[in-house]
Amino acid sequence: MAKSHKPVVWFPFAAGGTVIAFCMPVIVLLTLLAALGHAPAGLDYQNMHVFARSGLGKLIIFGVVALSLWSSAHRLRCTCYDFGLRADTLVATVLYAAAIFGSIAAAVFLARI
Amino acid sequence: MSRKPLVRECPPTTWYFRQPRYMRYMSREITSIFVGAYCVLLVVGLQRLADGPTAWEGFLLALQSPASIVFQILAFVAAVYHAATWFNATQKAMPLQIGEGFVPGNLISGAHYAAWAVLSLIVLILAGVF
């Protein structure tokens, strides 16, 4: 049976789509509240720092950020193709590389907290 | 015997103007631009958090610029639209069979909406919004 590399791309894409659907609206709402001058107490440095320093907090933050990045990269690749940018290999390489770079950066920042 | 091959015309950049359902598909595709850009914002925020209290306060202050507010409103609309269409699709993507019959599709989507509402509420409470 022929092996395909598609599942490798597809699993994080589907997981990321679900994570974005469940988590992204409320996360954007929180930063939007902060942007409008009504930052909730949870976004204080102290509270964010405590959350990001705990093992569970690190896991949640990294999971949400990395899966969302990967899913977005895959969706942007499809969007580029649909809008007529047909250099798919180039687009895919750039976007997936950006998603991997962003995930590694997130892991490095989390390790520093 | 030779026949003229069928060549289906498909203009690569304007095809989606042909049908309302293609337009709906593309409007969902476009949300990925805002969600993707917002993910980058999250990574930047994480960097500021790692840099210490001053950097984090500066990040929260930078969020208050008019351009940032407009972007976040667009990102919020995009995220909600992505979520709603994603949950609507679940009943087609993973139909649930019990015995002979299938669980009604609206029940599957509805369960996702309910879980979404509960999870969002929990996050808002934990963040101290209420």
Task: For each of the domains in chain A, give its residue range(s) and CATH number, in order of start.
Answer: 7-112 (1.20.1300.10)
Judged against a pLDDT cut of 60, whether residue A1 lies above it is answered with: no
3-state DSSP of chain B: CCCCCCCCCCCCCCHHHCCHHHHHHHHHHHHHHHHHHHHHHHHHHHHHHHHCHHHHHHHHHHCCCHHHHHHHHHHHHHHHHHHHHHHHHHHHHCCCEECCEECCHHHHHHHHHHHHHHHHHHHHHHCCCC
pLDDT at B94: 84
Which are the contacts of B38, defined by CB distance < 8 A and separation ≥ 6? A24, A28, B72, B75, B79
Query: Closest residue of B to A15, CA-based?
Result: B86
Our count of domains for chain B comes to 1
| C-beta atoms of B116 and A22 within 8 A | yes
Domain carrying residue B109: 15-126
Q: Given B57, B64, B72, which is nearest A28 (Cβ)? A: B72
pLDDT more than 90, % of chain A: 83
B71-100: pLDDT as tens digits: 999 999 999 999 999 999 999 988 899 999
Confidence band for B130, pLDDT divided at 50, 70 and 90: confident
| C-beta atoms of B82 and A20 within 8 A | yes
A73-112: pLDDT as tens digits: 999 999 999 999 989 999 999 999 999 999 999 999 999 9
In a domain, B7, yes or no: no
In a domain, B10, yes or no: no
In a domain, B34, yes or no: yes
pLDDT at A95: 96
In a domain, B1, yes or no: no
For residues B112-128, average pLDDT? 96
Query: Closest residue of B to A41, CA-based?
Result: B128
- Indicate which CATH number applies to the domain containing B114: 1.20.1300.10
B23-36: pLDDT as tens digits: 999 999 999 999 99
Residues of B in contact with A41 (CB under 8 A): 127-128
In a domain, B33, yes or no: yes
CB neighbours (10 Å) of residue B38?
Answer: 23
Judged against a pLDDT cut of 80, whether residue A3 lies above it is answered with: no
Among B88, B87, B129, B21, residue whose Cα is nearest residue A27: B129
| C-beta atoms of A32 and B57 within 8 A | no
**Å between A2 CA and nearest CA of chain B:** 25
B41-64: pLDDT as tens digits: 999 999 999 999 999 999 999 999
In a domain, B62, yes or no: yes
